[in-house]
Structure 1
């Protein structure tokens, strides 16, 4: 059951009643209900009229059959129509409320009258005479006739003429009940239409009011409707969207604060050092100028990393997808970053997987992601540690893994290593910007894959990149076909993590 929505905040809830959608729905329901009730009423009236008419005609025919049987008895008792006593016949006709006409086999009237027993008599004292005379009570209402059969032969016929209003009382009662039922059904249909319309439109109106509240700046506004079916799904999806918007805005504010914090330190050092030089407080010695130059380099690196993160976030719109050999791509990225790793005193080992290990990806972007993983290892491992690059496959995924036996990542920091501008203890110790792994996550997510981090209790870190496998189709493009990797100058430049 859909609950009645509580009144929303000022200025976002309709003034009352049904909105435009509700009025249109109610009008549609009302038209359908009115048409249905009218059609059923007409059909009921016609069916009732025909049914009652058929029943009355059957009753009239049965009365005619009884009168014909009584006339046959009178005929047999008298041996003919001349001396037949038709008083019982007239009584039956009178009891049925009909005028009676009796004719012989030659279609001459034997008796005619109103059915009350007051017919005319001839000079022999016998009832009625005259040809073709139908009697005073013949009337012009519904009639019924039956043959008079005596001793197996037809000796005449009887005709009953009923009054014009015969049976109309029952028909009027039936019509009255049908009309009353139609009015009741229409009232019930309109009431149910109003109820259903309110139940259908209330969640929609509530969601619209919540949307207006969100647009007005109230980021806490939620529909909070527990409704069944599609309306409930719509309300839940809207609330989920509002929650995501709130989280996104919080992340944006946090990002702005983090960027300001990251830029503030090198800018403050640069400004202080330059002011000292300007005011003559210190001499422009090579050592002092080198310190200022390092701060400028750090500031430039942070700006470059932020630009790279923004570019990675929009990578989904600029990917140039082709079938790429992930094994060859990992070997190329390892070869490119090997000097950086060896300079840091690390030993590099490669364990290639199946060749070719095809994925549908942008080779440049994937090369950039693998390069960032290797630069992260070069930055955070100790001299003498070993970095191992492995590629492997499952039936549905291709995996690239960068593992080291370095100091590892604390368990409480593992869920945050891919957050933008998040720096753990290792990153702070190495002056990292906290952007490199966030770039990796954005690039891998843009390819429909995932990247995870794991660290053992005795140290060592394993960063695993997973991508959907691609079945070979037509000519393959990208790495894995040529000895040289297809990368751009952007990917060839080591990035700070």
Structure 2
């Protein structure tokens, strides 16, 4: 059989394309990252500008205070402004690139303090009381205090580009950091997007491969969190689908095998009768009739199995007394059990033993257990049917003293068309117990088989109880063992 080509993406690692979802996620992450970096960059630039400007203004004010102290010394040494030597103050101002203006207490500009108008290009008019003298640059002012008395003021006017170098450096660093942050954010967004979308893309590609017929396709993804759970659940589902398909193929082959043998025998016998090689005696016709009965039994069992597999969709659930149901099932099969030479003993448990179930389906499951016991036990063996309860479960046990089931066969007794040692000896079809399992599972219960080394088999059916844990149990006057 040729295998379908594996769809693109299966078998590849997370290095495949992002896909539409990945591109949308990456775009969303990128927008968020860019907006965040832009906002932080703007805030950093504004903060740096204000901080540096504040620092420069503090430096200017400090310089103005030093110049005012130098002017005060000159005033004190000369005994007034007219003879004061302001060269020291001018030197301090020139050292920081500022233009100095000195005014007396009457707000008159001292020409000797700042040189002539021609020296500095300054006019003597204009107030300097607001932190700026003549000119257009930033400025700073400070009072001239001599012996506790304000005798004038100094005014410094700085060039317009003063302090811009520091801002340029700060802005360069902020811009570089912004570019680096954008690059890092985009790289992280790409990585996270790949980590998020790669498992989804891989699962989708594997699903397409499965749909195309590649039953071996698996995701094989070990991702953290919910994505890993999704991949593992998908692989488990694919395994279950593969196993179910294999079981279906095996079932078809087993059914064909089961039907082929009686059909071949029946066909050979009829051809002998038709061609005159055998006389149509009573024994010969009875043998052919037995083959038709076997065919009918196999077909009936297969029909029951199909009904049991779909029972979950057709259950009519009501409150059922499991003890009464077990007693009724034993009564119905009592003739069959006695014909097989068996002694039947019932041990009813608490009454009522309530479960929520379909009474007809449970009756069918119990009947199949009893028929299986009648088919495989020896004459003289004893069959005991017991009902009991735990706080959360209701139990029915069908135990016999027959030859038992080999330990190696116990895990398979409820498999479809499984015919162990007892089934082959008793002529069973291997379907009856599979029907029991399907019906009990449809009710949310379990059924198990145990067999001791000395013989004897116990089938235990468990169903969830519907009555509360503390409900009062009514004693059953017929709770003593009954022997039929």
2:236 alignment partner in structure 1? 240
Report 1:82-481 matches (<5 A): 82-111=82-111, 118-119=115-116, 132=126, 138-471=134-467
For 2:127 and 2:433, the matched residues in 1 are separated by 118
Deviation track 1:370-403 (CA, whole Å, cap 9, x = no partner) reads 1111111111111111110111112221111000
Q: Taking structure 2 as the reference length, what is the TM-score of the superposition?
A: 0.89
Instruction: Name the SS of the counterpart of 1:412 in structure 2.
Output: helix
Question: What displacement does 1:341 show?
Answer: 1.0
SS in 1 for 2:223: coil
Question: Once structures 1 and 2 are overlaid, which stretch shifts more, 293-302 or 455-464?
Answer: 293-302
- Closer/same/farther in 2, CA of residues 130 and 251 from structure 1, 3 Å limit: closer
Contact map agreement 1:451 1:463 (CA 8 A) in 2: yes
Contact 1:143 1:162 (8 Å CA) reproduced: yes
Unaligned residue ranges in structure 2 (runs of 5+)? 470-474, 479-484
Name the stretch that deviates more: 17-26 or 40-49.
17-26
Q: Is the 8 A contact 1:109 1:132 kept in 2?
A: no
Give the aligned partner of residue 481 of structure 2.
none
Find the aligned partners of 1:56 and 1:384 in 2 and give their Cα distance. Answer: 114
In the TM superposition, what are the counterparts of 1:55-74 in structure 2 within 5 Å? Answer: 55-74=55-74
Q: 1:155 to 1:137 in 2, by over 3 A?
A: closer
Q: How much has 1:13 moved relative to structure 2?
A: 2.4
Query: 2:195, 2:227 → 1: CA distance?
Result: 10
CA separation in 1, counterparts of 2:28 and 2:191? 14
Distance 2:157 2:112 in 1: 11
Quote the residue 1:493 is aligned against: none
Q: 1:76 & 1:52 partners in 2: Cα distance?
A: 36
Q: 1:112 to 1:320 in 2, by over 3 A?
A: farther
TM-fit CA distance, 1:132: 4.2
Residue 79 in 1 paired to residue 76 in 2?
A: no
Task: Give secondary structure in 1 for the equivalent of 2:463.
Answer: strand
Between the aligned partners of 2:326 and 2:21, the Cα distance in structure 1 is: 58
More displaced stretch, 85-94 vs 440-449: 85-94
TM-score, with normalisation over the residues of structure 1? 0.87
Larger displacement relative to structure 2 (423-432 or 73-82): 73-82
Query: Residue by residue, what CA displacement relative to the aligned partner does 1:33-79 show, whole Å, maximum 9, x if unpaired?
Result: 21121111111111111111111111111112222222222233333
Query: After alignment, is 149-158 or 183-192 more displaced?
Result: 149-158
Is the alpha carbon distance of 1:111 and 1:396 closer, same or farther for their aligned partners in structure 2, counting shifts above 3 Å?
Answer: farther
Displacement of 1:110 in angstroms is 2.4
**Structure 1: stretches of 5+ with no match in the other structure:** 1-7, 122-127, 474-479, 484-497
Do the aligned partners of 1:450 and 1:467 also contact (CA within 8 Å) in 2? yes
- Spell out, residue by residue over 1:3-27, the C-alpha distance to the aligned partner (whole angstroms, 9 max, x if none): xxxxx96542289543222222222
- 1:109–1:129: 8 Å Cα contact kept in structure 2? no
Cα drift, residue 130 of structure 1: 5.5
- Hey, what's the Cα distance between the residues in 1 that align with 2:125 and 2:23? 74
Residue aligned with 1:102, SS: strand
- SS at 2:460's partner residue? strand
1 CA distance for matches of 2:111 and 2:153? 11
Q: Tell me the distance in 2 between the aligned counterparts of 1:100 and 1:179.
A: 37
Q: Is the 8 A contact 1:108 1:132 kept in 2?
A: no
Q: 1:452 aligns to what SS in structure 2?
A: strand
Bigger drift between 187-196 and 388-397 goes to 187-196
Q: Structure 1 residues 181, 280: CA separation in 2 closer, same or farther (over 3 Å shift)? A: same
Which string of whole-angstrom CA distances, capped at 9 and with x for unpartnered residues, describes residues 227-247 of structure 1? 222222222222211111111
- Compared with structure 1, are the counterparts of its residues 351 and 80 closer, same or farther at alpha carbon in structure 2 (3 Å cutoff)? same
Q: Name the stretch that deviates more: 278-287 or 350-359.
A: 278-287
Deviations 1:435-456 (A, max 9, x none): 1110111111111111110001
Determine if contact 1:350/1:390 at 8 Å carries over to the other structure: yes
323-332 or 67-76, which deviates more: 67-76
Deviations 1:335-372 (A, max 9, x none): 21112111111111111112222222222211111111
Relative distance call for 1:471 and 1:10 in structure 2 (3 A) is closer
User: SS of 1:108's equivalent?
Assistant: coil
Q: Closer, same or farther in 2 for the Cα pair 1:98/1:133, shift >3 Å?
A: same
Find the aligned partners of 1:243 and 1:92 in 2 and give their Cα distance: 89
Q: CA deviation at 1:131?
A: 5.5
